[in-house]
Amino acid sequence: MAVAARSWQHPRWEYDESGSEAARRSAARAQTRRQVDAPRALRAQSQPARAQSQSARTTVDRRRAPVAVREPVSAPGLRLVPRSRTRLGSTLLLTLTLALSLLLPVALNTLLVRTQIDIAQLQRRQDDLVAQRSALRAQQATLSATQRVKETADRLGMVTPAEVVFIDLAGAVSVAQVTSAARAAPELSVPAVLGSTEPVRQDVASAASGGDAAGR
């Protein structure tokens, strides 16, 4: 509105519009409107209450659109209409805000529920994997049971070594011991190359050099 008022006061407006076709049409419409409004004005004067009310409304209008009220005084041939775009924008903004305020919680809630479902699924998956791990551990423990290993070894014809050799690093001697298992094992299970099944005390150096250091 302020822009319109300033434009009206511009000298170029007065000059250009006084003789223009548009100005003439506008002046004619304003004249017609004044003629129509005259009887109403008279009726309004006879009804003070209404006039007062009208006055109040005018006051309100002035507040809302002060330029429009001044229009007939300074430019009887022109009419300024309020910019409808402003109201449309507000309405759209309001509608959008309302829609958002309604939809946002719904969307948020949906998102939360979806996330919770995902979490629950992940938790179930974790539980399943933990259970699977426990089952595998139990299976592993079962498979590594001494009894099972021994039975499998027996089935495969394996026996405890005929000789167990302990190396005494401090004394530099090795002591071979015939185990009782070897004693109890069938003859076939003792490799022939081992020879005697009696305990052997052997010098490490001699063992390494082919037994040439007897008497140490």
Partner 1 sequence: MSLRTTNKRLRSSIVFVVVVFALLIARAVEIQVVQGAEYAARADRQHIREFDTSAKRGVIYDRNGEELAVSQRMATVVADPQMIEDAAAAAAALSPILGVEQALLEEKLEAAGRFVYLARKLEPSTGEQVSALKIRGVAVQPEEKRVYPKGSLAPQVLGFVGMENKGLAGLEFQYDEHLRGETGRRSIIGDPFGRTLGVLFDRSGREGDSLVLTIDEDIQYAAEHELMNVVERYGALGASAVVLDPRSGEILAMANVPLFDTNRYGAEDESMRRNSAVTDQFEPGSTFKMVVVAAALEAGLVDPETTFALGPSITLYDRTVHEAHEDIPAVRTMSVTEILAQSSNVGAVTLGLEVGEKGLVDMIERFGFTRKTGVDFPGEAAGYMLPQEDWSGTTIANIPIGQGISVTPLQLAAAYGAIANDGVYVQPHLAKGTELRPSHQAVSPEVARQLRDMLLVTVSAGTGKAAAVKGYSVAGKTGTAQKAAEDGRGYSNDRFIASFIGMVPADDPAVVVLVVVDEPTLEYYGSIVAAPAFAQIADFALRRLEIPPTISQ
Would you tell me which residues interact with partner 1 (CB under 8 A)? 112-113, 116-117, 119-120, 123-124, 127, 130-131, 134-135, 137-142, 144-147, 150, 164, 166, 168, 175, 177-181, 183, 198-199, 201
Work out how close the CB of 142 gets to partner 1 at its nearest, in angstroms, rounded to a whole number: 4
Q: The tokens 């002060």 sit on which residue?
A: 66
Closer to partner 1 by Cβ: residue 18 or 139: 139
DSSP string, 21-42: HHHHHHHHHHHHHHHHHHHHHH
How many residues are listed for the chain in this entry? 216
Closer to partner 1 by Cβ: residue 15 or 166: 166
Work out how close the CB of 180 gets to partner 1 at its nearest, in angstroms, rounded to a whole number: 5
The b-or-e profile of 166-186 (16+ CB within 10 A means b, else e) is eeeeeeebbebebeeebeebe
What's at 117, amino acid-wise?
Answer: I
Work out how close the CB of 106 gets to partner 1 at its nearest, in angstroms, rounded to a whole number: 16
Q: What is the dihedral of CA 181, 187, 193, 196, to 10 degrees?
A: 70
Work out how close the CB of 37 gets to partner 1 at its nearest, in angstroms, rounded to a whole number: 20
Closer to partner 1 by Cβ: residue 51 or 200: 200
Closer to partner 1 by Cβ: residue 61 or 127: 127
What's at 20, amino acid-wise?
Answer: S
